[in-house]
Structure 1
């Protein structure tokens, strides 16, 4: 049986509360698991709870590496009976719901975003209530809008987002709180900033420029940014993001004053990350050509106030901008060397 490890940065966890009373680890389903966060979270949770106890699901055909890494099943969040069969067959205890259309993509297809982000969420919430699951649903800086204070943006404030992605996330936050108070559902949610990772390609989100720049730099390409150089947004490196998710999942119930918390690690603008990247690639050519994503970014927080998460359940980030740049380039260099070796 896999044993969980107590993180050195957090003293709020006591013993093995997140294990069953008989000592068995939880069985966890991850929807939308082939997105930016899913594969990394599956790897993290499998290290802690065992490979067979973490089931990845999506509607995308998996690679051989995904199939070899552990259980993977087809899971359509718009099909309640499909999800129900997975929960029953695999005896699921926790459900991490990643399936969603992101900000820029959602604006291009609003009806589909409503189906995936709202109707799919309803299936997950009702299923979690029916089978008494602990459910985690990520939220976002996009859950705030132009009427929200932007620097800093506190945990509780006016939201009123201007994208269907943000609207669906506010809906999810409120629905989760309602299910918690009405039915006792163990709903947990974190508002993530832009997440930076070397594991996946940029996927069309408003903060994805901060991933694209690393790929362009290491491939010797010119970097064209779709945001203005001074557009400041909250960000975090993926390892911090996934660790915050796990820490929220296992935080003792009595430490959670809220069901939804802001978490972040840093805030920077395109010109600041360009400066940091040029310490590694001094000749990087950069141009700025703002597009529709600029209008989205202008309504989002510049600095996230995550003091409540730090106070209530001990959240601490580990990576700042400089450390993130170093590890991103280290990882991408290794990937390129491996690809070159395979090509030969």
Structure 2
């Protein structure tokens, strides 16, 4: 990372950004982290810029104004929501990334960009999907992730841009409510368990998907960006996972702490979930930059319930 210059986080108040920004502020100082989003909170302790990532001129203005050295480009429409308007999903997910990469050449910036297990598809292995495999996604979100990975690789090879990337599994966090992803059932179930004691799950009980708790995901991002270039030379969209579980297993673990009745009504998101791998081989990330998640299912459930009880003011 270019430590002599400031950091810009686009999509700063989405699922990842809302927790990455405070972590970066703590590490580098509030004056060195600029948070950007199209929708911004009423109060924010730090430097804030509100604009649309599609506005290239405004983006360049911000990069110059703050002398940005590293961009964490998080703006994205997610899988399930992306299927509602594929054209808009392509425009936002791809045009924004290309603008960041173009300016990274001009201004010699480093870039972090999140990919996803959505980049895989029905032709990919379902078990222990390897770092390099067939990638034929069936959602526009997944298509933009594959295209984005290829674009990042191109900019690295042709222009030497230092771009680092993680293929995230489902991310579980208590700070942000579900926001249009296929793995959101694994967050929504906690809210409904505490508020109503019932949950109607939109995937089948036996549906298994890879997941990671947000604290682990944030630590993973920081570790990758801190890694020496010699260790992560070249461009890799690193596979990442922490654990895999079924919807039924998650419900059963929650039931160890409270009364919960779960029904299952699979909808259009079931087909998306069925196209994704159940388990991930992330050995390359573990070997090259010491990826080492700390949260198993038991610990994840305990922390989610504890934090959400406080957030929702439930005794």
Q: Structure 2 length as normaliser, TM-score?
A: 0.97
CA-based RMSD of the aligned residues comes to 1.3
Identify the residue that residue 143 of structure 1 maps to in structure 2.
Answer: 119
Q: Structure 2: how far apart are the matches of 1:130 and 1:77?
A: 18
Q: CA deviation at 1:19?
A: 5.8
1:272 and 2:249 equivalent?
yes
- Kindly provide the CA deviation profile for residues 82-126 of structure 1, in whole angstroms up to 9, marking residues without a partner as x: 100000001101000110100001100011101101112111111
The answer as to whether partners of 1:224 and 1:286 remain within 8 angstroms in 2 is yes
Secondary structure in 2 aligned to 1:137?
Answer: strand
Equivalence for 1:55: 34
Are the counterparts in 1 of residues 112 and 164 from structure 2 also a CA contact under 8 Å? Answer: yes
- 1:263 counterpart = 2:273: no
1:323 aligns with 2:299: yes
Offset, 1:63: 2.0
Q: Deviation at 1:249? A: 1.0
SS in 2 for 1:96: strand
Residues 1:104 and 2:83 are matched in the alignment: no
Q: Mapping of 1:123-138 within 5 angstroms?
A: 123-138=99-114
Q: Deviations over 1:146-194 (max 9, x none)?
A: 0001101111101110100000001111110110010000011000000
Conserved? CA contact 1:77–1:124, under 8 Å: no
- SS of the equivalent of 2:230 reads helix
- Residue 165 of structure 2 aligns with which residue? 189
In structure 2, distance between residues paired with 1:224 and 1:322: 22
Pairing 1:245-324 to 2, within 5 Å after superposition: 245-257=221-233, 258-281=235-258, 283-324=259-300
Q: Distance in 2 between matches of 1:47 and 1:119?
A: 30
More strand per residue: 2
CA contact (8 A) 1:33 1:56 kept: yes
Whole-angstrom CA distance in 1 between matches of 2:19 and 2:11:
12
Residue 7 (structure 2) aligns with: 28
SS at match of 2:249: helix
- Structure 1 residues 107 and 19, CA gap change in structure 2 (3 angstroms): closer
Structure 1 contact 77–99 (Cα < 8 Å) conserved: yes
User: Which digits, 9 at most, give the CA deviation of each residue in 1:261-292, with x for residues without a partner?
Assistant: 011100001000001000011x2011000000
Name which of 179, 184, 196 aligns with 1:220: 196
Q: Secondary structure at the match of 1:207?
A: helix
Which structure 2 residue ranges, 5 or more long, are not aligned?
A: none
